[in-house]
Amino acid sequence: MHGLMKLGWVGQGGSVAGTGGWFESIGLRPGLFWALVATLAEAGGGILMALGLGGPIGPGLVAADMLVVSVVAHLPKGFWAQNGGWEFPLPLAAAGFAVALLGNGAWSLDSLLGLTYSAELTTYWLALMAIGVVLAIVATKFFAPKTAQKSA
């Protein structure tokens, strides 16, 4: 639900534009596009996952978003969250992936409303999320800021 902060709906988080600027600085270009994608994945995916609505859609969005942020922003900082590492976001990605595969459960709105989803939807949705993850990570490699090399 971190995306709600970027939208200014809760807390005192940043903004979509601010996130876009930061994304530009780490090589996710165009930054505003990726900031909108992340915000929608975090806010929309988080809400759907919390409500247990939409089958694999919400959990898939959360898993993809957290996997990208783990690799792009947190992996270089090591394991521990206190140092900005991947200790926190990667397990969130795993949880989203698990819920997408296993379903929202008996206490979900899906269950309450009698909604069911085909295995094909889960397969195709997770494949689409995987493509998005790869595109985001590849984008950072192509557009990452170049570090100045020292001359000998």
26-62 pLDDT, tens digit per residue, is 888 888 998 999 999 999 999 999 999 999 999 999 9
CA distance 23 to 36: 11
99 pLDDT band (50/70/90 cuts)? Answer: very high
The pTM for the full model equals: 0.84
Burial annotation 27-47 (CB, 10 A radius, 16+ → b, else e) = bbbebeebbbbbbbbbbbbbb
pLDDT value at residue 151: 53
Question: Using an 8 Å Cβ cutoff, are 27 and 145 in contact?
Answer: yes
Residue 133 half-sphere exposure toward CB, CA atoms < 13 A: 20
